[in-house]
Amino acid sequence: MERRSAGASVTNRTQSRRETRAFPTFLTSLLPVATSAGVSTALASVLIFTIVVDILGNVLVILSVYRNKKLRNPGNIFVVSLSVADLVVALYPYPLVLTAIFHNDWTMGDLHCQVSGFIMGLSVIGSIFNITAIAINRYCYICHSFHYDRLYSLRNTLCYLGLTWLLTAIATIPNFFVGSLQYDPRIYSCTFAQTVSSYYTISVVIIHFLIPLLVVSYCYMRIWVLVIQVKHRVKPEQRTKLKPSDVRNFLTMFMVFVLFAVCWAPLNLIGLAVAINPPKVAPNIPEWLFVTSYFMAYFNSCLNAIIYGLLNQNFRKEYKTILLALCVPRLLLAETSRCATEGLKSKPSPAITNNNVAEIDV
């Protein structure tokens, strides 16, 4: 009897140490022993849907750009990069979160916890930095069209892409030194712990969210101003004509930005609130609000491919062709081989005019 009690005591102490290391002490006591079956089922359902649509949708995006000559331009290099950032979380971190939901605990060990948290951070920061790069590309394409070909040659674009991911890595690595990658039982995820350091949390929100948000907002505001000015010019012979497809193509990337901001804003606002005074503010954040904000952010990774299909005719056409070709694999292979030989070419500047008509194709 004494041996059993001693063994149970050691087990409890070990589990207690693990829980303390994984989650702040002042919050551990506030957590329920187990999430209700209904909530777990709902979270698992949302995550399964996100994983399936994320993988299918982003693979379609990558194949569409690879196959379609109209889509293979420097600007869409960042679209493919964004799809890769969204795709990677569906292949590794999300399945681990799903496993944790099924077991109602993290059972994969500390190594998987740290690696999955790091990859999730890479994906999130990579997404917002790629969205920023897309906005800058669109801004140069429309507002500085005469210089676009020089600014976005294939070589320069690949350099910008490398810089985007280098900055992403630099922004993610400090998590290891701060010790902010921890398991949070409320969301079954190894993720950034907002309570580790107030200054670091504020820095993360500002650098990873607010500054990119301001840059993207500025770029798209300038584009909107230009479009409105063009639309209301008085002299018909000086009017720059915009085709409906031009407007839709611009709206596609604008919607991608808006959805990202909407899905990630709640979590970042919670982070700012918690950073003010973690011991006092964190316990007062409703658990349903915290969990909802996280799963909204997770859900965002599957939305971009849907937006492309709904608003961009070229992507929609390729989606149909690829899905149809799954029934006839030879068709997909033949089309892909033909497209691969054409190579990636820089798109002509939209400022090439004919009778003062500029072709703007975002």
DSSP string, 238-262: GPPP--HHHHHHHHHHHHHHHHHHH
Task: Look at 91 and 240; give whichever has higher pLDDT.
Answer: 91
**In-domain check, residue 351:** no
Cα gap 179→160, rounded to integer Å: 30
Cα gap 5→214, rounded to integer Å: 59
**In-domain check, residue 344:** no
pLDDT digits (tens, 9 = 90+) for 187-216: 999 998 888 888 999 999 999 999 999 999
**In-domain check, residue 102:** yes
**In-domain check, residue 124:** yes
Q: Which helix (H) or strand (E) holds 153?
A: none
Q: What is the mean pLDDT of residues 154-175?
A: 95
Q: Which amino acid type is present at position 143?
A: C
**In-domain check, residue 280:** yes
**Can you read off the two tokens belonging to residue 221?**
């505001």
Contact present, 68 and 318 (Cβ < 8 Å): yes
Task: Identify the CA nearest to 270 among candidates 256, 254, 253, 288.
Answer: 288
pLDDT digits (tens, 9 = 90+) for 61-78: 999 999 888 888 888 999
**In-domain check, residue 342:** no
| Mean pLDDT across the chain | 81
Cα gap 262→300, rounded to integer Å: 9
**In-domain check, residue 113:** yes
Q: Domain containing 207 — which CATH number?
A: 1.20.1070.10
Q: Answer whether residue 294 shows pLDDT above 50.
A: yes
pLDDT digits (tens, 9 = 90+) for 39-57: 889 999 999 999 999 999 9
Range(s) of the domain holding residue 205: 37-328
Cα gap 182→35, rounded to integer Å: 19
Q: Which amino acid type is present at position 245?
A: S
Q: What is the pLDDT of residue 243?
A: 58
Number of domains in the chain: 1
**In-domain check, residue 356:** no
**Can you read off the two tokens belonging to residue 122?**
């890479």
Instruction: Name the packing angle between helices 303-311 and 313-325 (round to 10°).
Output: 110
21: pLDDT confidence band, cut at 50, 70 and 90? very low
Q: What is the pLDDT of residue 197?
A: 85
Q: Which amino acid type is present at position 78?
A: F
